[in-house]
Amino acid sequence: MSFFLEFVRDPMTVGAVAPSSPALARVATAAVPSTGSPIVVELGPGTGSFTKAIQRRLAGRGRHIAVEVNAGFARKLAALHPEVDVVHADAADLARVLAQRGLRQADVVVSGLPWAAFTENQQRDVLSSVVATLSPHGVFTTFAYVHARWAPPARRLLRSMRSRFDEVVISRTVWANLPPALVYYCRRPAEADGDGAMR
């Protein structure tokens, strides 16, 4: 109900009427290492469906930073997960968020952002921030709803990811989600030249 009310209040930043399922969360967070001390960034955690899955995989290791633009979600998430560094900020400001914590790069970036609700410029700015802060061997994951996969925003997102990453792998459909979804695994981010263009 909390998620639905936030959607009604601000559909352009929430982007869905219900949280992601545990099944989708498992697939979306599979890139989080089960060993070592990785720096994991979560974009658009909402009510914490992916947050719980990331915490299970980390099992007390590494560092988990969650960036949420919705103030209500950020407050609730921080109260539910005091072990997570919850930041009320825009995902496009990821480099600044990391710099404030003395960090330059993340090992994994997991996104729960509503890409279909974003303008072309918003998609570009967020993807650019991810590429600029992801380690050379890092992984970026995000998801899309199957029914909207061929809509212009989703096709634009996939083109943008393929232009910014050396490899984009698409998971099998996660049917145990409402609506069914699939996950993109993006590896080996491209470098930006002096003009900010990808090469």
Instruction: Give residue-wise pLDDT tens across range 97-127.
Output: 999 999 999 999 999 998 988 899 999 999 9
Tokens 């209040």 label which residue?
9
- Rounded distance, CA 92 to CA 174, Å? 28
**Any idea how long the chain is?**
199
- Rounded distance, CA 170 to CA 6, Å? 29
Going residue by residue through the chain (199 aa), what tens digit of pLDDT does each one get? 443 344 334 434 434 446 789 999 999 999 999 999 999 999 999 989 999 999 999 999 999 999 999 999 999 999 999 999 999 999 999 999 999 999 999 999 999 998 988 899 999 999 999 999 999 999 999 999 998 888 898 999 999 999 999 999 999 999 999 889 999 999 999 874 444 444 4
Q: Give residues with Cβ within 8 angstroms of 104, minimum separation 6.
A: 98, 133
